[in-house]
Amino acid sequence: MTWGERRRAVAPDGAAISWWSYGDGPPLLLVAGQAVDHRSWDRALTGLGAGRRVLVYDHRGIGDSERGDGSRYSTRRLAEDAVSVLDDAGVDRADVLGHSMGGRIAQWLAIDHVERVGRLVLAATSAGDRHTPARDPEADEILRSGETGRLAQLFFPGGPNPQSLVDLLAVGGRSLDRSRHFRASRSHDALADLGAITAPTLVVHGELDRLTPASQARLVARAIPGARLAILRGAGHGVVLDGGLGAELAARWLADPQA
C-alpha cells in the first residue's frame, strides 16, 4: 500500500525519525518490531485503520530514519523517539499497538509517558529475557540472519502460504544498526515497572511463538493492572501482522476495551 507523504520528527538527540500518516479519526500509533520498517503494518492496516488516523514510523537506523546517537539504542530511549513522532504529528494522546520489540518500546511509552497513551495492545512481546526461558537457539539464529524466507516460516507457522507474507518482514538498516536493535530488545527489562501502566491493556500472543514463549504473555498480563490476555491457537510471532484474528481482536479492543 501507499502510506503517503513522509514526514520527519526530530528525536531528543537530533536524529530525524521518518513517519507516515494514513486516514482520519482517533489516532493510533503502531510501533514496529526489531529492525523492520513501517511496511510491516501493510496487511494489518485494513482492520486496524478503519475510522482512524494511523501513524507509523521507522525506528532509528532502519528504513528512512537516521541512526543518531549509538547510546540511544535501548527500548526505553526508543520510546522517546515514539514521543517525538506524536509531537510532530500534533497528537497529545494516542492508542498504541506495539509488536515484538515494538511492544517492549510501547511498555516504556505507557510507563514513562502515561498521559500520551490511551489504550494499549502488546503483541508477541515480553517483559524481558531474564524472566523467560532461554529462546529456541534455531529461532534466535533465524532472527539474526535477517533472511526473510526463513523469517516468514518462523513468524507465520501453519499458514496457507508464509512466503506470501515475506513483504511484511522488510528487515532494513546496516548490520551495525540491526545489531543495536537486537541488543536493545534482548536487554529489555520492564517487569518491575509494568504495574505503573494505567492504560486499558490487551496482551495478544501466538501459541506457537518460538521467539517469545506464550508464558511471557501471561507474565506481562499479570503484571499490568486489569490487563486482558488472548493467546491464539496456531499463531506464531507474527500474530497481528498478517491482518488475521490477532489484528481483529486488537481492533475490537481498541474500539471498546470492555468488549
Q: What is the DSSP string of 42-110?
A: TTTHHHHTTTSEEEEEPPTTSTTS----GGG-SHHHHHHHHHHHHHHHT-S-EEEEEETHHHHHHHHHH
Provide the residue range defining the domain that includes 47: 7-255
Q: Looking at residue 158, what is its pLDDT? A: 67
Q: What is the pLDDT of residues 83-93, one digit of tens each?
A: 999 999 999 99
Domains contained in the chain, number: 1
pTM here is: 0.93
Q: Looking at residue 174, what is its pLDDT? A: 79
Question: Of the candidates 135, 171, 124, which has an alpha carbon nearest to the alpha carbon of residue 150?
Answer: 171
Asked if residue 115 belongs to a domain, the reply is yes
The CATH number for 244's domain is 3.40.50.1820
Asked if residue 130 belongs to a domain, the reply is yes
Asked if residue 2 belongs to a domain, the reply is no
Question: Of the candidates 160, 13, 175, which has an alpha carbon nearest to the alpha carbon of residue 80?
Answer: 13
- Note whether 98 and 105 are within 8 A (CB): yes
Asked if residue 234 belongs to a domain, the reply is yes
User: How far apart, in whole angstroms, are the C-alpha atoms of residue 99 and residue 212?
Assistant: 11
Q: Which three cell numbers stand for residue 173?
A: 538498516
- The lowest-confidence range among 57-61, 67-71, 132-136, 227-231 is 132-136
Mean pLDDT of 169-175: 73
Q: What is the pLDDT of residues 99-145, one digit of tens each?
A: 999 999 999 999 999 999 999 999 999 999 888 777 778 887 877 77
Q: Looking at residue 135, what is its pLDDT? A: 73
Q: Residue 161: pLDDT band by 50, 70, 90 thresholds?
A: low
Q: Looking at residue 223, what is its pLDDT? A: 98
Q: Is the pLDDT of residue 79 over 70?
A: yes
Asked if residue 90 belongs to a domain, the reply is yes
Q: Looking at residue 257, what is its pLDDT? A: 61
Mean pLDDT of 203-212: 95
